Amino acid sequence: MTSSDARRYTRFGLEVDVTIRSKTSGLTPGTTIEVSESGMSTVLPVDLPVGEIVELHINLPFESLDLRAVVRNRNAFHYGFEFADHSLAQMCSGLSALRSDVGV
């Protein structure tokens, strides 16, 4: 079994601006890499501790979303976040609209 087979949700490549609000690092701009129904990965130029709850402000082409997430893993400046609230339906419907608009 490969690592992609073990994932609960399909990941989609998505490169948009994101701002992280963290108790330890304040406001930090970054870029998303991938997103799924349960979370997202980003590149950030800061040191966030695994387990910290942060606020994400994601700038999608058609709207902005504000979500809470938990830092689940880190490799250098590449972070994995798990969404912590129930605004996932909003995020997923937004991604579906984006995929329709770009013909994916």
Domain residue limits, the chain: 12-87
Residues 82 and 68: their CA atoms lie apart, in Å, by: 9
Residue pair 64/80 in contact (Cβ under 8 Å)? The answer is no
The answer, yes or no, to whether residue 92 has pLDDT greater than 90, is no
The pLDDT score that the predictor gives to residue 15 is: 94
Q: What letter does residue 76 receive in the DSSP assignment? A: T
Higher pLDDT, 95 or 77: 77
Average pLDDT over residues 1-30: 83
Residue pair 91/68 in contact (Cβ under 8 Å)? The answer is no
The answer to which of 36-40, 54-58, 92-96 has the lowest mean pLDDT is 92-96
Percent of the chain residues topping a pLDDT of 70: 75
Question: pTM of the prediction?
Answer: 0.77
The fourth-level CATH superfamily of domain 12-87 is predicted glycosyltransferase like domains (2.40.10.220)
The pLDDT score that the predictor gives to residue 21 is: 96
Q: What are the residues facing 12 on neighbouring strands?
A: 35
Residues 23 and 43: their CA atoms lie apart, in Å, by: 18
